[in-house]
A = this chain, B = another copy of it.
Amino acid sequence: MTAHDAEEQSGPRSPRRSGRRPGVQSTREDILSTARKMFAGNGFEMTTVRAIAAAAGVDPALVHHYYGTKRELFVAAVAIPVDPAVVLAPLKEVEVDELGAQLVRTVLGLWDDGEVRPAGLALLRSAVAGPGAGLVRSFLSEIILSHIGARLSGDADEVAVRTGLVASQMLGLIVTRYVVELEPLASMPLADLAECAGPTLQRYLTGPMPVSGS
């Protein structure tokens, strides 16, 4: 199989028993770790499946075979057990002027329910430790914030400031509630937290903004 031959030429990336061909599992993991590094370094848009395949020494068709679309590969790379496009769907159902509180309910609702939290914490941990920062930056700006920014008016620079500020408040709520576990925010009902922080997010999204970001 071409993929395996090419992969062996690319040198050892993980400990292997000598004299044995790497298995399917190893090839899959090589593709994923290569994708993770390239998405982290160059972002989602600038990274192609073809480039990931070349760097992993496999055929692009094999990447698609294992991971589906580039977007699905990225979701696998960040190791989030849900598809952001699906779980963020509730954000599309509210008017832009109600998006602030809905963001708190939807995003922290995912973290509250416990399925996403371990993966989210692992992602955050890897960002704070250093190596995962680029991946989290790309995930936030190109997957989550682009989704939100598409609903806002204003030029690209202004939208980038607005969504950046949204990211700061959402990340801060996550760190305060799930990492530092600061009371009363750690045990406050989600509806109450949405009432407290919703107007902040709404101002960042649609309120007057003193700085254009350019």
A residues adjacent to B (C-beta < 8 A): 121, 124-125, 127-129, 133, 136-137, 140-141, 157, 160-161, 164-165, 167-173, 175-177, 179-185, 188, 192-193, 195-197, 199-200, 203-204, 209-211, 213
Determine whether the beta carbon of A176 is less than 8 Å from that of B182: no
Known: A161-B196, A179-B133, A200-B200. A184 touches B213 (CB 8 A): yes
Q: Across the interface, which residues of B come within 8 angstroms of A121, CB to CB?
A: 128
A139 to chain B minimum Cβ distance, whole angstroms, is 9
Determine whether the beta carbon of B211 is less than 8 Å from that of A179: no
Known: A128-B128, A192-B211. A185 touches B164 (CB 8 A): yes
Closest to A197 in B: B165
- Among B177, B181, B211, the residue within 8 A (CB) of A196 is B211
- Among B127, B177, B185, B203, the residue within 8 A (CB) of A200 is B203
In the assembled complex, the Cα of A124 lies from the Cα of B180 at a distance in Å of: 9
Known: A128-B128, A175-B175. A182 touches B164 (CB 8 A): yes
In the assembled complex, the Cα of A44 lies from the Cα of B179 at a distance in Å of: 19
Q: Across the interface, which residues of B come within 8 angstroms of A157, CB to CB?
A: 184
Closest to A161 in B: B184
- Among B136, B195, B211, the residue within 8 A (CB) of A195 is B211
- Among B169, B197, B213, the residue within 8 A (CB) of A188 is B213
In the assembled complex, the Cα of A171 lies from the Cα of B180 at a distance in Å of: 10
Determine whether the beta carbon of A175 is less than 8 Å from that of B176: no
In the assembled complex, the Cα of A63 lies from the Cα of B164 at a distance in Å of: 45
Q: Across the interface, which residues of B come within 8 angstroms of A204, CB to CB?
A: 196, 200
